[in-house]
Amino acid sequence: MNTDLLIERYLEYLAIEKGLSKNTVVSYRRDLAKLQQFLEEEQGTALADAQQTAIASFVAEIRRNGASPRSVGRAISAVRGFYRYLLATKRIPSDPTMNIESPRLERRLPTVLTEEEVERLLAFNRRHEPLDLRDTAILELMYATGLRASEVISLKMGDVHLELGYVRCIGKGSKERIVPVGSKAIAALELYISGCRNALVSRTGTRALFVNSRGEALSRQGLWKLIKKRVRAAGISRRVTPHTLRHSFATHLLSHGADLRSVQEMLGHADISTTQIYTHLDKSRLKQIYLAAHPRAQSRAE
């Protein structure tokens, strides 16, 4: 099997079997293309014949070219996964990436809105105009559930059970999870569905929960635009993304006493270490409060 076909089979495996996102698959394709070019031009060898020294030289090369530790780590993940796939399918006798180490990444704390900022964002512009109802319902739901942007725009009417107070969503790796929804989000959704959505979809018949002005399923770009619009109108100067609401959801739950395992389950994290970053964030916030408020923690002018 030629090299290009091997790469395509691997990328299909990632998309179909592993459920990786389209963006991740595109990034992995780019990294493997760089490796293929490097091996052919600098090492005179094919992907399937590469040895550990050649892979190490490739990693050193992308570092010399100024790639960030995060980009280097992603490239190593793409290459390591590819060779493990070849090994598992018996196309190579050994894994040339076995001793290749990924760079240690400094875990950056995510941006989180304060509870007061969330209130301003959710309370603004409740004029009961059709798309205002939709925008409020989306923001209320995202803050109430911590859903990812892709999960929100993928919701169908049958995924929302307002009378029981939960939504069903399909997350990363095509894993299903059930997330509770609070009373304010339920009220906003009911108002949106009866006062806006039903009229819009009468022309299209779509089952999508959130739709645009044409009655079609809301796109990721449309979601970004409405969030930017509401953030600007609420007078919030910081950059806010759909993921900011997810971060805020998790941090505020933990700060009010929720246990880590429950937050992990609601976020759909496979590994609890991913959820633990929010405990660090809360400790960071507590430290700031302490330094600002404790009389012997403050530096005083002479």
Cβ atoms within 10 Å of 219's Cβ, excluding its own = 12
pLDDT in tens, 136-149: 999 999 999 999 99
pLDDT of residue 16: 82
Handedness of CA 38, 42, 47, 53 (dihedral sign): negative
Could you tell me the pLDDT band of residue 15, with boundaries at 50, 70 and 90?
Answer: confident
Portion of the chain with pLDDT greater than 90, in percent: 49
- Return the bridge partners of 156, or none: 208
Question: Could you tell me if 142 and 179 are in contact, meaning their C-beta atoms sit under 8 angstroms apart?
Answer: no
| CA-based nearest residue to 87, from 47, 34, 53 | 47
Q: What b/e readout covers 21-46, taking b as 16+ CB neighbours within 10 angstroms?
A: eeebbebbbebbebbbebbeeebeee
Concatenated DSSP letters of 114-135: -HHHHHHHHHTT----HHHHHH
Task: Provide long-range contacts, Cβ within 8 A and 24+ apart, for 255-264.
Answer: 255/282, 255/285
The pLDDT confidence band at residue 286, using thresholds 50, 70 and 90, is: low
Total count of residues recorded for the chain: 302
Q: Active-site residue numbers?
A: 148, 172, 243, 246, 269, 278
Kindly report each contact of residues 50-56 with a partner whose C-beta sits within 8 Å and lies 24 or more positions away, as own/partner.
50/83, 50/96, 51/96, 52/96, 52/97, 52/98, 52/99, 52/100, 54/96, 55/79, 55/96, 55/97, 55/100, 56/100
pLDDT digits (tens, 9 = 90+) for 98-129: 888 876 655 666 788 999 999 999 985 556 67
